[in-house]
Amino acid sequence: MSLLFIVVDSLRADVLGCCGGPARTSAVDHLAGSAALFPRTVSAAPWTVPSVAAMLTGVYPHRLGLAKWEQPWPAEHPSLFDLASRAGFEVTSFVFEPRYFFRAVPAARVAGSSQNTERVLGWLRERRDRPFCAFVHYWWTHIPYVARATTVPEWRKLTDVVLDAIRANGAARDGVKALYRHAVERFSEDWLPRVLEAVDLDRTWVVLVADHGESWGERCGPSEMRDVFDLHGNNLFEESLRVPLLIRPPGGCPPRRIAGLARTVDLLPTLADLLGLDRPPPGIDGMSLGDSVRDGRDAPAADAFSARNRDFLQRPDLPVDALELWCEFALTTPRHKLVWNREEISRRAYDLVSDPMETNDVAGALGATIDGAWKRLEAEAERAVVGPVGGDDLARTAERLRALGYLE
């Protein structure tokens, strides 16, 4: 038995055909036809580092204190890589840029760039008959939405073109959305079938999920779009937090569309349950979705917390105060979302049933009926910490951001 764990960068749930979206995603839809589909899954964070850390440890990122590439993961919270290695799986990962992603997580055993598709396929084919745990981070659905490897200067140049188009006018923004949709279709129709053919689907669990969603300046206005993290990373609206989740067992299962609220933080306990790994230690935040996968029952009744860290492109240093690092928190329930922005000292609430686009703040109208929810959100924020970063790494943070093209 093996595990193929695919994280698709910036993939919104509402773009996929199987979730009612406009993209032509027949390969993803076909996969969903023999899998458990969780159409309402909430990410723990709106950008990659804290989001992936949460799904692989089962612990909310603000409790891990992880918000930078350079940070080592806390040893007291074993990851999926640790549990899979103990169970005898050969562990590997393919990431968009090995110099950054998992650079302080040796247990991930980074084998190369996910942008080198042939290398990914070769690794999977060689281990087709052996137990493996392969994490693949698909990058080309991330801005600038091109399906080929690029150098950092080229990536930066193309990204600036896309951001300029978003800032230009509504028609140009619509063009960017179409570009994104085509990138999602290329993932589904070109890349995914090749990867699935490389593994034995009769003995391989397949997980497909996104780290976060995407936006195009609809909330802040095009003129306020400063950098890539204004597309994701700097807000906790549904377009940034709602992601697709598919779990397909070896040999497949009857199509199961799971009702209820799932969370990316549930992935570690779910996979430990389904693959027979060691049970994660007590105190994690996730809950197993194993019963939902096995027999289609609703996801466990649990609300979702999400946290946003301070924008490091504007201030690269890592603050000492946890509540300065984690500047915004959200609580998503089956009906409502509450958002507490500590930077702006604001509280907003939305009725996700009557207002799924979160356009009408109903915090005042709900009044005392949500006092208990606000207290839960405040209590969760109090659990936030700042994780360690080596002194040398911290000193070179700005240099690395410039190397990635995020800073001039």
Q: Give residue 119's pLDDT.
A: 96
Residue 134 to residue 90: CA distance in whole angstroms: 8
User: Taking all residues of the chain, what is their mean pLDDT, rounded to a whole number?
Assistant: 91
Q: Produce one character per residue of 246-276: b if its CB has 16 or more CB atoms within 10 Å, e if not.
A: bbbbeeebeebebeebbbbbbbbbbbbbbbe
Is 376 a domain residue? no
Torsion sign (Cα): 170, 172, 175, 176: negative
Task: Tell me which of 127 and 222 has the higher pLDDT.
Answer: 127
User: Average pLDDT of 333-352?
Assistant: 92
**pLDDT tens by residue, 66-92:** 998 888 999 899 999 999 999 999 999
Q: pTM for the full model?
A: 0.93
ω before 72 within 30° of 0 (cis)?
no
Mean pLDDT on 28-41:
96
The H or E element that residue 347 is part of is strand 346-351
402: pLDDT strictly greater than 70 = no
Q: What's the mean pLDDT in 343-359? A: 92
Predicted pLDDT of residue 342: 86
Give me the mean pLDDT over the 175-192 stretch.
95
Q: Is the pLDDT of residue 321 over 50?
A: yes
Of the pLDDT bands very low, low, confident and very high (cuts 50, 70, 90), residue 392 is very low
Question: How is residue 281 annotated by DSSP?
Answer: P
CA atoms of 51 and 171, how far apart (whole Å): 32
Q: Which pLDDT value is given to residue 352?
A: 96
List, for residues 364-377, the tens digit of each pLDDT value: 999 999 999 999 99
Looking at the domain assignment, is residue 347 inside a domain? no
C-alpha distances in Å from residue 196, one per residue of 28, 47, 171, 297: 11, 26, 37, 27
CA angle in degrees (0–180, nearest 5) for 57-356-188: 60
Position 398 pLDDT exceeds 70: no
Residue 274 belongs to a domain: yes
Q: What is the pLDDT of residue 78?
A: 94
Bridge partners, residue 256, by sequence: 36
Query: How large is the average pLDDT for residues 214-240?
Result: 82
Placement of tokens 């027979």 in the chain = 276
Share of the chain above pLDDT 90, in %: 72
Cα(365)–Cα(92) distance, rounded to whole angstroms?
Answer: 50
CATH number of the domain encompassing residue 262? 3.40.720.10
The answer to whether residue 383 is domain-embedded is no
Above pLDDT 70, what percent of the chain? Answer: 95
Q: Measure the CA–CA gap between 231 and 216, rounded to whole angstroms.
A: 6
Nearest CA among 153, 133, 131 for reference residue 144: 153
| 313 within some domain | no
Stretch among 15-29, 132-146, 237-251, 313-327 having the lowest mean pLDDT: 313-327
User: Where residue 347 falls among pLDDT bands split at 50, 70, 90?
Assistant: very high
Q: How many domains does the chain have?
A: 1
Secondary structure (3-state) at 151: coil
Residue 41 in any domain: the answer is yes
Range of the domain at 237: 2-302
pLDDT at residue 183 in the model: 97
In this structure, of 10-14, 158-162, 216-220, 349-353, the range with the lowest mean pLDDT score is 216-220
- Any residues with CB less than 8 A from the CB of 73 and at least 6 apart, and which? 53, 57, 64, 66, 79, 104, 105
In a domain, residue 372? The reply is no
First and final C-alpha spacing in the chain: 47
Position 168 in a domain:
yes
Pairing, β 36-42 against β 2-8: unpaired
